[in-house]
Structure 1
């Protein structure tokens, strides 16, 4: 991988913070919260357009958060650690289990440009025509459009939260002109919000957007700093395949040593060295079956 475009000045410390008035301003009416959600989305849009921000990595981290929320809404106990394990330690022929399937669906939803075809890949049990119908159910401004899609999907699918949440974040991405699904609503909505309708649901969606946009801006700042440090370390790594391995860390929420394009022992050594250099973190706290990420 060519890092020549990214090894210059580290601009991560200059990433602007979300304006404090967005989080501090009291907003009880639909009009007020709609204004704040629009402002937070505009800030996030400008931030994600920066060359130094690792947007693919951010999307996969948000996909984990969205999957965790979806699993929680369904009443299952699995959380982020279990979801990572279910996906990253799959062997050929293994099944990831219900919670792992939810996580895989979110990962597939964010990894390709948003379209009916890509969403059908993430939701293979839903016909492409039905997906198009769901996405076409919303009209108007982006958050209002997403709220209508959510209401329609919840009613039509028998309240299948995981399916509805992927569709609502896809609808929001399309309405905002984003190339990829960037999960915001799934992690920001509360379980009770999914039963709301009309203005109450629109209000809940606006509030969820504000909360998620604020957290995503913080996440972007953290991951941009981490990605810059990892890129800076790349020229010091002499192992064959190290460049490709670094590229994987820059787009994936977590990576197991066995997934890297190196022999097993070399992959483990590379991961340990990156941890020692402070370029990646070990995410599990275990001595075996470890996962690494920025």
Structure 2
């Protein structure tokens, strides 16, 4: 028996799955671990090249997960909903708290192509010259290069986990010749891993890349389907500037109605309409100060 797809256009969006053999085993030798992480990155590279994947949105979602991981490293309890609130509910002139500052750092790290000047916006406590020196510290294959950068920053700034992880992901992106930083290491590492050095840290980074790359592939497939559905229902929207609003949803993790190019009441109606069409979700779980995203 076959069943019709509820959203035919979504069903046409199929991205290649990560092979099971990449993630099903737990290799222990450095050679095996490096092989698996290389395979995972190669597969992710192919997925990221697909036009169906909303690249900016994917990076923002991964930035959110990296920020969650940093909260765990620092012993804080904030999760996705708290982090979104800490950033999106800021009023003009307000300063973000610690959680908001971490999420903003990751968002800034992914919003522009990898470059020293762009990274200095994400980690403003570091001089551009210092960022350049640490990025150049890494040598060898991509994951090894990222691990060396991570260790170098942590050695020189023991409490600078956030900066170290951002620069390590930047080094990984540069080694892979990706234009943009794709947060991978933070969500795959543990607090104990950040205490490691040398070969132990390198192995931890290889393991982290395998798990995080696999999760990035799954997230890419999910967002590609959601993006396709949003594009499919867009012609049903009658609001002025609906096209521009759809583009915003396709590039941002979360959106407040005030961020849309519509009057407040019209923006709220548009969000409600998109929820009715199954194209957008309400992310805050509140009746007021709501956040929306695909």
- Paired position in structure 1 for 2:244: 244
Matches within 5 A, 1:250-269: 250-269=250-269
TM-score by length of 1: 0.95
Task: Give the C-alpha shift of residue 10 in structure 1.
Answer: 5.4
Task: Give the C-alpha shift of residue 162 in structure 1.
Answer: 1.0
- Answer whether contact 1:66 1:106 (CA < 8 A) is retained: yes
- Paired position in structure 2 for 1:227: 227
Distance 1:72 1:54 in 2: 28
Check 1:230–1:23 CA distance in 2 against 1; reply closer, same or farther (3 A cut).
same
Matches within 5 A, 1:1-294: 13-294=13-294
- Answer whether contact 2:241 2:262 (CA < 8 A) is retained: yes
Q: CA RMSD in A?
A: 1.3
Task: Give the C-alpha shift of residue 236 in structure 1.
Answer: 1.2
Task: Give the C-alpha shift of residue 259 in structure 1.
Answer: 1.1
Q: Secondary structure at 1:14's aligned position in 2? A: coil
- Answer whether contact 1:143 1:202 (CA < 8 A) is retained: yes
- Answer whether contact 1:74 1:161 (CA < 8 A) is retained: no
Distance 1:287 1:69 in 2: 28
1:67-123 per-residue CA deviation (whole Å, 9 max, x = no partner) reads: 111122122221111110011111111111111011111101000000000001111
Q: Which residues of structure 1 form unaligned runs of 5+? A: 1-7
Distance 1:158 1:25 in 2: 32
- Answer whether contact 2:9 2:229 (CA < 8 A) is retained: no
Distance 2:70 2:9 in 1: 39
- Answer whether contact 1:280 1:292 (CA < 8 A) is retained: yes
Distance 2:145 2:216 in 1: 21
TM-score by length of 2: 0.95
